[in-house]
Chain A
Amino acid sequence: MGSPGACAGVLISKLNASAQTSNDPWLHRFAVLTAVITFFLLGIGGLVTSHEAGMSVPDWPTSYGYNMFALPIKFWRGGAFFEHSHRLLASGAGFLTTVLAVWLWLKDPRKWMKWLGVAAFVLVVAQGVLGGLRVTLKMDNLGVIHGVVGQSFFILTCAIALFTSRFWGRWSAGEKMFFVTRGLWTLVLATTILIFCQLALGATMRGQHAGLAIPDFPTAYGKLWPDTSADAVARYNAEHMDVVAENPITAFQIILQMAHRIIALAIFILVAAVAWLSWKRLGGKNLLAKLAFFWLALVVCQIALGAWTVWSNKAADVATAHVLVGALSLVTGALWCIIAFGRREGATITAPTKTISGAFGTSPAMAANK
C-alpha cells in the first residue's frame, strides 16, 4: 500500500478508538460549511488555471498594489476576476478553517480531533502561502503542488465534517453492524490512491500551459497510440491553433495524456469492481454499497467530462467541472475507506457502552452481513 496507505491506517485506527463525538450540531454544520466553501474554492482555483489567469494579478499578498480586500471593482476583469475571487474565497476558507480548528480544540472531547483541526489549520496556511509563492516566484510546479494540496485539504475538511456528525457517533458505536472483507477495503484504498495520482497527473498536465496535447478522443491523433517522433510533434505544433496555449506540445506531454487516459480506464474498472463486490457482499441496501454505486456514477461522469474537455478544445468551464468531479471522486473513495475501516473483518469496535471485538472469520462476517 505504501506510505499513504499506512498513514491512512494509523489515522483511521485512531478515529475508531473512540465512539465519542462533539455532540454539537452547530460544529458539524460549520465543518460542512467549511468543506462546501473548500469545494467552491477548488472550482474557482480550477477556473484560474483553465483561464490561464494565474498571473493576472502579479503581486501578492497585495492585488495591483492595493490591499487585497479593497481592490476596486473596476479591476475585476478578465483573468483578474477569477484570480482575485480565488484569493478572496481562499481568505474566507482560511478564516473558516481557523475558527473550526479553535472550535474543535475547545469543544471536541476527542484529542485526535483537536489535532486534526490543527492539521487543517496548518494545511490551509501552507496552501495559502503556496498559492502566493506560485505568483511571486512564477513557478508552474508550485501551481501543481498547490492543486494537489488543495485536493488533500478538501479530503480533510470532508473528513472533519464526517467525524463531527451524529452519524459518525452512531456508526462507530456499532450501529447497523456488518463487515467488509479486508480485500474489498484494500481495493477501495488502492483505487482512491490511484485517483489521487490521477488528479496529480491531471494537475501536472494543466500546469504545462500547452493546451490540449492530444486534440481527439477516443483516438489520439487518429490512432490508438499516437506517433511521438520529432517530425510528428513538429507537425502537431504546426496544426495546433490554440489561442491560450503558451508552450509548444512535447512528446512527453502526449505520453502524459495517454497515461491519464489509461489510468482513467483502470479507475473505471476498479470502481466498477468495488461497486459490484459491495453489492454482492453487502447487499444493495447497504450504505457502503450505495456509496460505491455513487462513486461509480461519479467516475462515469468524470470520464464523460474528460472526453468533453477534449471535444470542447479544453473549454474552461468543462475543464473545471472535470477538476471538481475528480475531487468528488477522490473524496468519495476516501470517505468510503474511513467509514468502512472499523467494519473490516477482524477490526475492533469500541463503543461507549459495549465493545464488539472480532477475530472474525469469514462465517461470522457473512452472517453479520446477512
Chain B
Amino acid sequence: MDVRFTSMNYSRTNWFVKTAVLSILAAGVFGACQAAAAADIIGVITLTGTPPAETDLAPFISDNSDCAAMYQGKKMPTTHFFVVGPKGEFADVVVSLKDVTGKSTGAGAQPVVLDQKDCVYTPQILAIQTGQKLLVRNSDMCIHTIDFEPTVPGNQSHSDAQMAGAADLPYTFPKPEMFITFKCGVHKWMRAWVSVFDSPYFSVSGQDGKFVIKNVPPGKYTVEANHRKLGAQTQEVEVADKDVTVNFTFAVK
C-alpha cells in the first residue's frame, strides 16, 4: 500500500511539476509575443505660419517684490502659448489615443511633479493618468495658492495655500479631462494646464516637436493631437507589430 501510494504520489507530483513548467513557459511565450506585438506611435508636430507674439510677464512680475527679487540679473519670462522651434517644431501639444478608456495604470505609476519655481509653473503643459498622483511643489521662498476647477463631474476642484518650504501637495483625478487650468491666486500670471487620460497612451510633444506613445497594443486607433490654443486634430492609425509614424501640422492663420 505504502509503495503503491508513494508511486502514485510521485506520479501526481511529476504531473503537477510538468504542468506548472509548461504553464510558465506558455505564459512567457505569450507575454513575449504580446510585448513584441505592442508598438510605439511616434511623430512630429509642426506649426506653420507666424504665431502671435507672446505677452511679456515683466510688468506683472515686477509688481510683486517677492517674485521680482527672483529675477535680479535675469530676463523675466513671457507667456508660452506657442513654443515653436526654428523649423516649426511645435512643443506642448498633447497627443493621445482618443476614446481609449479603462486602461489606466495611474494608481501604480510614478507621481508627476508640477513645480512652482521662480513664480512660474514648470512644466506649463503636462498630462497624467486617472488615479495617478500629481505632486504640486513650491520651490519658491514665497507663498503660492493652487487653484483649479475641473469641469468634468467627479474631478474635484481645489484651492489650497502652500507656504514656502511646505510639503508637496498631492492631487489625483478620477476622470479624464483636457486642460484643467491650474492658477495661483497670489500671482495672477501663473498658469499651467493638466490633461488627464484614462490610459497610459499619451504624450506631450517636446521642444523638437517629437512625441512618442509607447507600447500601444495592436489595433485601430484615432490619434488626437490637442493644442490649448489651436484645438484638436485627429488621424486614424492601425498598430501592428511595428512602430507607426503619425505627423501633425497645425497652422496659424
Contact = CB atoms under 8 A, between A and B. Distances in A.
A55 B185 contact: yes
B247 interface: no
A59 B161 contact: yes
Interface stretch (A3-11, A76-84, A99-107, A191-199): A76-84
A77 B145 contact: no
A242 B185 contact: no
9 contacts: A58-B147, A64-B161, A77-B186, A78-B64, A78-B186, A80-B145, A239-B52, A244-B188, A246-B183
B53 interface: yes
B100 interface: no
Contacts of B64: 77-78
A243 B189 contact: yes
A54 interface: yes
Nearest to B229: A238
A79 B159 contact: no
Interface in A198-247: 234-235, 237-239, 241-244, 246-247
Interface in A75-118: 75, 77-80, 83
Contacts of B157: 138
B161 A58 contact: yes
B185 A243 contact: no
B79 A241 contact: yes
B65 A243 contact: no
Interface of B: 52-55, 57, 60, 63-67, 79, 81, 142-143, 145, 147, 149, 157, 159-161, 163, 181, 183, 185-189, 191, 229-231, 252-253
Nearest to A65: B161
B185 A57 contact: yes
Given A53-B185, A78-B186, A244-B188, 15 more contacts: A53-B186, A55-B145, A55-B159, A64-B143, A77-B65, A77-B142, A78-B63, A78-B67, A79-B187, A135-B159, A238-B52, A241-B55, A241-B81, A242-B55, A244-B189
Contacts of B188: 51-53, 78-79, 243-244
| Chain A contact patch, size range | 20 to 34
Question: Max chain B CB contacts within 10 Å: which of A78, A243, A247?
Answer: A78
Contact of B60 (A54, A58, A243, A247): A243
B253 A235 contact: yes
A20 interface: no
A56 interface: yes
A58 B185 contact: yes
B116 to A, nearest CB: 13
Nearest to A59: B161
Q: Considering the complex of A and B, which 4 residue pairs feature the smallest CB-CB distances, nearest first? A: A56-B185, A58-B159, A78-B186, A55-B185
Contacts of A58: 145, 147, 159-161, 185
A55 B81 CA distance: 24
Contacts of B66: 77-78
Contacts of A51: 188
Contacts of A55: 145, 147, 159, 185
A75 B185 CA distance: 12
A210 to B, nearest CB: 11
A12 B57 CA distance: 52
Find the residue from B55, B57, B81, B143 having the highest chain A CB count within 10 A. Answer: B143
Nearest to A135: B159
B165 to A, nearest CB: 14
